[in-house]
């Protein structure tokens, strides 16, 4: 089976997650569950290596600044940022390959999600924007790059997110029990994997994004390691109630969100001004746990196992608060299923690249709300492949 590299920096923008995947191009089982494990056969997917490469401090600061809803930058600044993120992603791919002891030229393709700056899949002008120029990645690595995964789904009337449910079904679904996969990135999202019936998925609201931003502003640390600072404060019920009254949280799926929805300005509009910083942090952790569990109970109350991934898995307080609100449900890391929780999304975009090159749909319309299945992403040929005119692309691909 060919090798693929997946790259993504999530809404927390705390670094580039990179994963090396060995994957067949077979789509998940086409039956209603969308679960490749329904017949007991192991999916043709193996995560061989993974690592997270931190952004340069100045680059991360720029990303966080321009990700805010009221941020402005001119075209020169935007193009420079697009290029700089592309350079960082290329360096991450090369570092992953070197650390894994493989020749980068043995990799079939790189699936690059990029860095989201805006995600607004609502009328009248639906759009989503990720930076990290794939042309730069292709030139620096010499490898074919599949990128711009979300915009085709948005153009087809979908949310453009979440895109991981098909991958989650392939590697973490099990016909013997009703499961949910919980990604704790900057924004939380759920994939619902029932024993029978269709796979569903949607964003739940804040996970790490507000926690990280508040922590950085008040402590200078990029995140609250283990949730220890939040644990030193107390939950403020009135503030929690004001946050939970956010209309977006009550929207039914399909729905998606980002840092431009839940940001420090959003939080400040709900503060009285006399709260202690630690108490706000504690309340934000409870907000994440509360909104996640409420969403799960409303959409799949029969869940018996929650498999968590993403950076929030390392926040012991957040994980404990989620588990406390789900008595009788096993809440565990994806590591219990053989996949590094920090590598799941990157591995998913490596897998999506394999789907794209095979001409297979990467979205699930029942998840995103798109009008139908779509081959996602565009492909930029690597230097090793000769001129674009010599490339052969599956239907729906372009350079």
pLDDT digits (tens, 9 = 90+) for 5-58: 999 998 878 899 999 999 864 444 433 334 443 333 344 788 999 999 999 999
Q: Which residues of the chain have pLDDT under 50?
A: 25-43, 385-399
Distance of alpha carbon 178 from alpha carbon 55, whole angstroms: 37
Structure tokens at 190: 């759920």
Q: What pLDDT sits at residue 70?
A: 73
Residues ≥6 apart with Cβ < 8 Å to 312: 184, 185, 188, 207, 208, 288, 318, 319
Are the C-beta atoms of residues 309 and 178 closer than 8 Å to each other? no
- Give the residue from 212, 226, 192 showing the smallest Cα distance to 259: 212
Distance of alpha carbon 291 from alpha carbon 249, whole angstroms: 7
Distance of alpha carbon 167 from alpha carbon 352, whole angstroms: 8
Element at 190 (helix H, strand E):
strand 187-193
Three-state SS letters, 25-40: CCCCCCCCCCCCCCCC
Using the CB atoms, write b or e for 122-150: b if 16+ within 10 Å. eeeebebbbbbbbebbbbbbbbbbbbbbb
Segment 87-136, tens digit of pLDDT: 999 999 999 999 999 999 999 999 999 999 999 998 889 999 999 999 99
Element at 95 (helix H, strand E):
helix 75-100
Structure tokens at 303: 């869940």
Q: Could you please report the per-residue DSSP string of 63-78?
A: HHHHTSTT----HHHH
Q: What pLDDT sits at residue 67?
A: 85
Q: What pLDDT sits at residue 345?
A: 95
Torsion of CA 93, 368, 258, 353, to 10 degrees: 10
Q: What pLDDT sits at residue 73?
A: 85
**Looking at the chain, how many residues does it have?**
399
Are the C-beta atoms of residues 203 and 189 closer than 8 Å to each other? yes
- Give the residue from 229, 225, 244, 317 showing the smallest Cα distance to 279: 229
Angstrom CA distances, 206 to 82, 290, 387, stand at 26, 10, 44
pTM as predicted = 0.85
Using the CB atoms, write b or e for 155-188: b if 16+ within 10 Å. bbebbbbbbbbbbbbbbbbbbeebbbbbbbbbbb
Q: What pLDDT sits at residue 40?
A: 38
Distance of alpha carbon 330 from alpha carbon 178, whole angstroms: 11
């Amino acid at each position: 089976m060919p090798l693929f590299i997946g790259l993504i920096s999530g809404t927390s923008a705390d670094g580039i997650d990179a994963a090396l995947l060995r994957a067949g191009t077979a789509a998940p089982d086409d039956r209603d569950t969308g679960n490749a494990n329904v017949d007991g056969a192991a999916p043709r997917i193996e995560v061989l290596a993974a690592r997270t490469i931190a952004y340069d401090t100045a680059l991360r600061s720029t990303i966080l600044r321009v990700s805010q809803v009221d941020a402005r930058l001119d075209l020169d600044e935007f193009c420079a940022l697009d290029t700089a993120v592309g350079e960082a992603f290329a360096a991450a791919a090369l570092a992953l390959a070197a650390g894994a002891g493989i020749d980068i030229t043995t990799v079939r393709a790189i699936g690059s999600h990029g860095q989201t700056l805006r995600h607004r899949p609502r009328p009248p002008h639906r759009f989503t924007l990720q930076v990290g120029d794939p042309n730069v990645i292709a030139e620096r690595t010499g490898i074919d790059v599949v990128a711009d995964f979300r915009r085709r789904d948005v153009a087809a009337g979908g949310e453009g997110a979440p895109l991981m449910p098909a991958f989650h079904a392939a590697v973490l679904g099990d016909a013997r029990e009703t499961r949910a996969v919980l990604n704790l990135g900057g924004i939380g999202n759920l994939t619902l994997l029932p024993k029978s019936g269709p796979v569903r998925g949607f964003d739940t609201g804040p996970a790490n994004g507000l926690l990280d931003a508040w922590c950085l502003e008040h402590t200078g640390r990029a995140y609250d390691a283990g949730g220890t600072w939040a644990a030193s404060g107390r939950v403020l019920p009135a503030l929690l109630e004001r946050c939970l009254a956010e209309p977006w949280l009550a929207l039914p799926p399909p729905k998606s969100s980002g840092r431009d929805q839940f940001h420090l300005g959003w939080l400040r509009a709900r503060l009285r001004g006399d709260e202690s910083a630690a108490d706000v942090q504690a309340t934000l952790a409870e907000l994440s746990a509360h909104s996640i569990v409420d969403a799960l109970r409303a959409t799949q109350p029969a869940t018996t196992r929650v498999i968590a991934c993403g950076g929030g898995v390392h926040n012991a307080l957040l994980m404990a608060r989620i588990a406390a609100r789900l008595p009788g449900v096993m809440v565990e890391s994806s590591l219990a299923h053989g996949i590094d929780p920090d590598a799941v999304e990157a591995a998913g975009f490596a897998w999506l690249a394999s789907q794209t090159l095979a001409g297979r749909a990467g979205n699930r319309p029942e998840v995103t709300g798109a009008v139908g299945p779509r081959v996602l992403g565009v492909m930029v040929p690597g230097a090793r492949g000769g001129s674009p005119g010599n490339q052969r692309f599956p239907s729906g691909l372009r350079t």
